[in-house]
């Protein structure tokens, strides 16, 4: 079985009145190549006549954002001409590539009516050869996303990209990244085989899972070695897991706010291009 090197508890980093937990990056863990950032917003209840999500227009370059809407909704708009409202259970995948501006805010209906909100945004790096690719966006509602279930339905997976036990993901992506949102009933279990060459992203959103005989509580990210292909997962409670895996790029990574590149010079160029309007204007 694959060994767990360390468990990392998400750090609480609220954004205004938005509850936010961040397991990556932290002081102890910079990245799990190519997974570089995760914000877990909520769960929380918004009252009627609220201001909604605070993520107004901002730029990105050199990476991808994958957004999971567990509760509430997101209105997405970007300078590539994309505009959508994705509701609970849906997923957005945006390849920033050479750069664009986007906004992720709540719908007018959510701001008026309020309600529960829980959203995760994962950043996936792009390799050097794709840093300046053309931007792309796609948003899918819950019923448009592939689902795998075990025989008695106690474990189900929304297959976002790659494949999960033979079910192909709903999104075609520029790199080989497998991502699924896995739901477990209490006392259910599953065995997975993940290539030893892949890094694993294993974040327990809710509940408590035992993986390879190690308990991983909610709001914890498990960091694995690459000694085996086997994951045995048992749910001690009703649980939700964000599971990803991919071969690492093994390239230098330089962060510059919303830009993720391979050198400081490329970060500086990104800021210059943004200020010059080369990523579009709002």
Does 266 show up as a binding residue in the annotation? no
Does 41 show up as a binding residue in the annotation? no
HSE, side-chain direction, 13 A CA sphere, residue 16: 7
Does 104 show up as a binding residue in the annotation? yes
3-state helix/strand/coil string of the chain: CCCEEEEEECEECCECCECEEEEECCCCCCCECCEEEEEEEEEEEECCCCCCCCEEEEEEECEEEEEEEEECEEEEEECCCCEEEEECCCEEEEECCCCEEEEEECCHHHHHHCEEEEEEEEEEECCHHHCCCCCEEEEECHHHCEEEECCCCCEEEEEEECEECCEECCECCCCCEEEEEEEECCCCEEEEECCCCCEEEEEEEECEEEECCEEEECCEEEEECCCCCEEEEEECCCEEEEEEEECCCCCCCEEECCEEECCHHHHHHHHHHHHCCCCCCC
Distances (CA, A) of 152 to 148, 149, 186, 188, 189: 12, 8, 13, 10, 11
Does 60 show up as a binding residue in the annotation? yes
Closest CA to 31 of 193, 246, 210, 230: 246
Quick one: how far is CA 107 from the chain centroid? 21
β-sheet bridge partners, residue 100: 60
- Residues belonging to the binding site are 58, 60, 102, 104
Residues marked as binding for Fe cation?
58, 60, 102, 104
């Amino acid at each position: 079985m694959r060994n767990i090197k360390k468990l990392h508890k998400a750090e609480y980093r609220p954004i205004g009145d938005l509850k936010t937990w961040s397991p990556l990056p932290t002081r102890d863990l910079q990245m799990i190549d190519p997974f570089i950032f995760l914000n877990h917003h909520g769960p929380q209840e918004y009252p009627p006549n609220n201001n909604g999500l605070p993520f107004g227009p901002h730029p990105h370059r050199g990476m991808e954002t994958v957004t999971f809407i567990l509760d509430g909704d997101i209105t997405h708009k970007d300078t590539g001409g994309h505009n959508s409202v994705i509701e609970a259970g849906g997923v957005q995948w945006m390849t920033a590539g050479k750069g664009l501006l986007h906004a992720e805010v709540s719908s007018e209906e959510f701001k008026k009516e309020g309600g529960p909100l829980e959203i995760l945004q994962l950043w996936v790096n792009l390799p050097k050869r794709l840093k300046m690719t053309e931007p792309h966006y796609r948003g899918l509602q819950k019923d448009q996303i592939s689902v795998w279930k075990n025989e008695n339905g106690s474990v189900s997976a929304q297959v976002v990209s790659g494949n999960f036990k033979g079910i192909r993901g709903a999104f075609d992506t520029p790199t080989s990244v497998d991502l699924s949102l896995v739901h477990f009933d209490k006392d259910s279990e599953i065995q997975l085989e993940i290539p030893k060459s892949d890094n694993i992203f294993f974040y327990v959103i809710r509940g408590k899972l035992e993986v390879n005989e190690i308990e991983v509580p909610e709001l914890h990210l498990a960091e694995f070695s690459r000694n085996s292909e086997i994951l045995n997962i048992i749910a001690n409670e009703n649980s939700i897991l964000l599971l990803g895996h991919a071969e690492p790029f093994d390239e230098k990574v330089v962060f510059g706010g919303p830009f993720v590149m391979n050198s400081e010079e490329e970060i500086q160029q990104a800021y210059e291009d943004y200020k010059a309007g080369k990523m579009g204007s709002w």
